[in-house]
Amino acid sequence: MSKLTLCILLIAFLLAGCTLKDSEKVETTTQRAEVVDTSIDSLRQLSLALNIPASNKDVWNVITSSKHAKTLGNMFVEGAWVESDWQLGSDVHFKFKPDKVISTGKITSLTEGRYIQVDYNFSGFAYTEKYSIFPKEDGSSLMIQAGPYGEDFADQKIVWKKWLNKARELSVSQ
């Protein structure tokens, strides 16, 4: 299977998981969670942040734990997950059941407990995901920056909002 075919499959899988309306907020057991959207629409660069009433350590453990990988992956599409050892220079595999690698990125920047950058190359098309965790007085803030996206930009915002809220839910329950 060619890299272009895999890229098209990845986009289709991601779009299949889009079920929330862009304006929806997700209720959790602790309080209403609102995702702050500072995306640059003209560049198709996504930038979303969510306050989480949990420590940086709890949030980090959730987003890098194999224990939560399938739960978070299901926010994109049922049966998807990300697998990595979360070390600088390591591969990050986006997988789909049963154990098929759809795409592979590389961790190009890492600050333990605070920041991860994963760079992908889809047949010459560069795509980056950045995960940042900032301490706050009442917990943490988790920010996702990703892109660039194509025509599916608005749909990807919806999917990532679902992912952020699930990460919040899991972090709070640690």
Query: Minimum mean pLDDT among 12-21, 53-62, 68-77, 131-140: which range?
Result: 12-21
Mean pLDDT in residue range 31-38:
75
The pLDDT of residue 124 is 84
- Confidence band for 122, pLDDT divided at 50, 70 and 90: confident
Is the pLDDT at 42 greater than 70? The verdict is: yes
Whether the CB-CB separation of 40 and 145 falls below 8 Å is answered with no
- Give the percent of the chain with pLDDT over 90: 64
The pLDDT of residue 111 is 97
- Confidence band for 57, pLDDT divided at 50, 70 and 90: very high
> With 0-12 CB in 10 A as exposed, 13-18 as middle and 19+ as buried, what is 32?
exposed
Residues 6+ apart with CB under 8 A from 27: 33
The pLDDT of residue 33 is 66
**Looking at the domain that runs over 3-172, which CATH code has it been given?**
3.30.530.20
Residue-wise DSSP of 48-101: EEEEESS-HHHHHHHHH-HHHHHHHHTTTSTTEEEE----TT-EEEEEETTTEE
The pLDDT of residue 41 is 84
Is the pLDDT at 31 greater than 70? The verdict is: no
Query: Minimum mean pLDDT among 17-21, 50-54, 142-146, 150-154: which range?
Result: 17-21
Looking at every residue in the chain, the average pLDDT score rounds to 83
Q: pTM score, two decimals?
A: 0.79
Mean pLDDT in residue range 122-129:
89
Q: Do the bridges between strand 125-136 and strand 100-111 make them parallel or antiparallel, or are there none, so unpaired?
A: unpaired
The three-state secondary structure class of 28 is coil
